[in-house]
Structure 1
Amino acid sequence: MKKTLISGAVCLLLAACGTSGSNSPASAPGAQGFTPPKLEALKALGQPEGALNVLAWPGYAENGANDPKINWVTPFEQQTGCKVNVKPFGTSDEAVTLMKTGQYDVVSASGDASLRLVASGDVEPVNTVLVPNYNDVYPFLKDKSWNSVNNVAYGIPHGWGANILTWRTDKVSPAPTSWSVMFDANSPYKGKVIAYDSPIYIADAALYLQSHQPDLGIKNPYALDDKQFAAAVALLKQQRPLVSEYWSDYLKESQSLKNGDSVVGTAWQVTVNVTKAEGTPLEATVPSEGVTGWSDTWMVATKSAHKTCAYKWLDYIISPSVNAQVAEYFGEAPANSKACAEMTDKTLCDTYHANDSAYAAKIAYWTTPIPQCLDGRTDVKCKDYGEWTRAWTDIKG
Structure 2
Amino acid sequence: MMNTNNRIEPDWNNTDTAAANSRRHGRRHGVAAIAAAVAVAGVLAVSGCGASGTSTSGAKAAQAVQKLGKSEGKVSILAWPGYVEDGSDDPDVDWVSDFEKETGCEVTSKTYGTSDEAYNLVKSSDAYDVVAASGDLTLRLINAGLVQPVNTDLIPNYKDVYSFLKNRDFNTVDGKSYGVPHGYGANLLMYNKADFSEAPTSWDVVFDKAKASKFKGKVTAYDSPIYIADAAIYLMKHKPSLNIKNPYALDETQLKAAVDLLKEQNANVGEYWSDSLKLAQAFQSGDTVVGTGWQVIYNQMDSSKFGITSPEEGVTGWSDTWMISSKTKHTNCAYQWLNYIDSPKANAQATEYFGEAPANKNACQYATDSKFCDIYHAGDKDFEKKIWYWNTPISQCIDGRKNVKCTDYTEWTKAWQEIKG
**Scaled by the length of structure 2, what TM-score is found?**
0.83
User: Match for 1:260 among 286, 292, 301?
Assistant: 286
Partner of 2:240: 214
Matches within 5 A, 1:135-174: 135-174=159-198
* Equivalent in the alignment of 2:396: 372
Q: CA deviation at 1:157?
A: 0.9
Q: Does 1:193 align with 2:219?
A: yes
Residue 344 of structure 1: how far off its partner (Å): 1.8
2:140 to 102, 116, 141: 116
Aligned to 1:45: 68
Q: Could you tell me which runs of 5 or more consecutive residues in structure 1 were left unpaired when the two chains were aligned.
A: 1-12, 21-27
Aligned to 2:75, the other structure's residue is in SS state strand
Q: 1:227 aligns with which of 244, 248, 253?
A: 253
Measure the CA separation in 2 of the matches of 1:19 and 1:162.
25
Given that residues 17 and 370 in structure 1 are in contact (C-alpha distance below 8 angstroms), is that contact kept between their aligned partners in structure 2? yes
Corresponding residue SS for 1:313: helix
Residue in structure 1 matching 2:274, options 222, 225, 248: 248
Q: Percent identity?
A: 55
Paired AA for residue 237 in structure 2? S
For residue 177 of structure 1, give the secondary structure of its aligned residue in structure 2: coil
**d(CA) in 2 for partners of 1:30, 1:282:** 41
CA–CA distance in 1 between the matches of 2:53 and 2:225? 20
Matched ranges for 1:52-67 at <5 A = 52-67=75-90
Deviations 1:168-195 (A, max 9, x none): 2234444322112212333432332222
Deviation, structure 1 residue 227 = 0.4
Distance 1:258 1:83, change over 3 A: farther
Q: Higher mean Cα deviation, 351-360 or 40-49?
A: 40-49
- 1:36 equivalenced with 2:58 (yes/no): yes
C-alpha separation in 2, matches of 1:34 and 1:53: 26
How many angstroms does 1:144 deviate by? Answer: 0.9
1:15 corresponds to which of 36, 44, 54: 44
CA contact (8 A) 1:159 1:296 kept: yes
Matched, 1:87 2:110: yes
For 2:54, the aligned partner's letter is: Q
RMSD: 2.3
Aligned equivalents of 1:309 and 1:243: distance in 2? 47
- The answer for the alignment partner of 2:9 in structure 1 is none
- How many residues get paired? 376
Name the aligned partner's letter for residue 58 of structure 2. P
Equivalent position of 1:326 in the other structure? 350
The answer on whether the counterparts of 1:104 and 1:301 sit within 8 Å (CA) in structure 2 is yes
| Residue number in structure 2 paired with 1:177 | 201
Aligned AA for 1:245?
E
Q: CA-to-partner distance for each residue in 1:60-86, whole Å, 9 max, x for gaps?
A: 111223321111112222222322222
Aligned equivalents of 1:248, 1:321: Cα separation in 2 = 30
Indicate yes or no: 2:74 matched with 1:74.
no
Cα separation, 1, equivalents of 2:74 and 2:418: 43
Q: Hey, what's the Cα distance between the residues in 1 that align with 2:380 and 2:369?
A: 18
- The range that moved more, 167-176 or 209-218, is 167-176
Give distance in 1, aligned partners of 2:382 and 2:312.
16
8 A contact 2:165–2:359 mirrored in 1: yes
Deviations 1:177-236 (A, max 9, x none): 211221233343233222222221110010111112111111111111110001111212
Supply the AA of the counterpart residue of 1:95. A
Equivalent position amino acid for 1:36 in 2: G
Q: CA deviation at 1:31?
A: 6.9
Does the 8 Å CA contact 2:188/2:315 hold for their aligned counterparts?
Answer: yes
Distance between the aligned counterparts of 2:396 and 2:55, measured in 1?
Answer: 6
Please list, as runs of the form range in 1=range in 2, the aligned pairs for 1:275-314 lying within 5 A after superposition: 275-276=301-302, 281-314=305-338
Higher deviation after alignment, 295-304 or 355-364: 355-364
* Unaligned ranges ≥5, structure 2: 1-41
Task: Give, as a single letter, the amino acid of the residue that structure 1 aligns with 2:194.
Answer: D
**2:383 equivalent among 359, 370, 382:** 359
- Paired with 1:342 and 1:312, the residues of 2 have a C-alpha distance of 20
